[in-house]
A and B are shown apart, each in its own frame.
Chain A
């Protein structure tokens, strides 16, 4: 499932994938794969991303079960 919330938060912070990747200590490919829904990040990485973007886990990684099945 694509993570548009993360992408929106990143753009809102005026960050590109490379900058976010560097801030949380991963590669740009990993951020790209999280956004496109091809990789499930660990809880630690989720928290690091939330810290950088000033959001909560709910804001970026929670979706209603009805949305998840889409």
Chain B
């Protein structure tokens, strides 16, 4: 009768693979780097394809979904590994202080204004109407401002929380 072992199928499979394929930390690092290069190539392809479709007047939905998925994977991986950096807007790092909320709002507004101006200019080139330009500007400004707030404020809060945690354990020898 076969002896039952306590190992899971994953452990058994991993052991089998490691026995047949040469594997160590250097090879693993090289493979990870290779995978990262593949990711970069895929990212470049997706961006070029999106631009190409944009110029041709089409919308490449699968590529757009893939781009969003790539962004999500990057963010998720960073979060899983405890990386939390302050967002940067126009070369300025956001001030994480609770009292600096208005300075952050100013940077969100600046970003939104630049985005809205570009968006409105594109609309003006297509539409040739001043009313359309103004409408696009205000719509773009509002959308980008809300987006910046929704995405960046939680990051700032998380950063502040992490700094508080680091402060608490900085000199704790227990």
Query: B137 CB to closest chain A CB, in angstroms?
Result: 38
Query: B24 CB to closest chain A CB, in angstroms?
Result: 15
- Which of B83, B170, B173 meets A29, CB within 8 Å? B83
Chain A residue total in the interface (Cβ 8 A): 15
Summarize B's interface: helix, strand, loop or mixed: loop
Whose C-beta in chain A lies nearest to the C-beta of B162?
A29
Complex CA distance for A36 and B130, rounded to whole angstroms: 59
Interface residues of A (CB under 8 A from B): 4, 7-8, 11, 16-17, 27-29, 32-33, 35-36, 38-39
Beyond A7-B171, A29-B82, A29-B166, 14 additional pairs, beta carbon < 8 A: A4-B173, A11-B171, A11-B173, A16-B170, A17-B166, A28-B163, A29-B84, A29-B162, A32-B166, A32-B170, A33-B82, A35-B169, A36-B169, A38-B82
25 intermolecular pairs with C-beta atoms under 8 Å apart: A4-B173, A7-B171, A7-B173, A8-B173, A11-B171, A11-B173, A16-B170, A17-B166, A17-B170, A27-B85, A28-B163, A28-B166, A29-B82, A29-B83, A29-B84, A29-B162, A29-B166, A32-B166, A32-B169, A32-B170, A33-B82, A35-B169, A36-B169, A38-B82, A39-B82
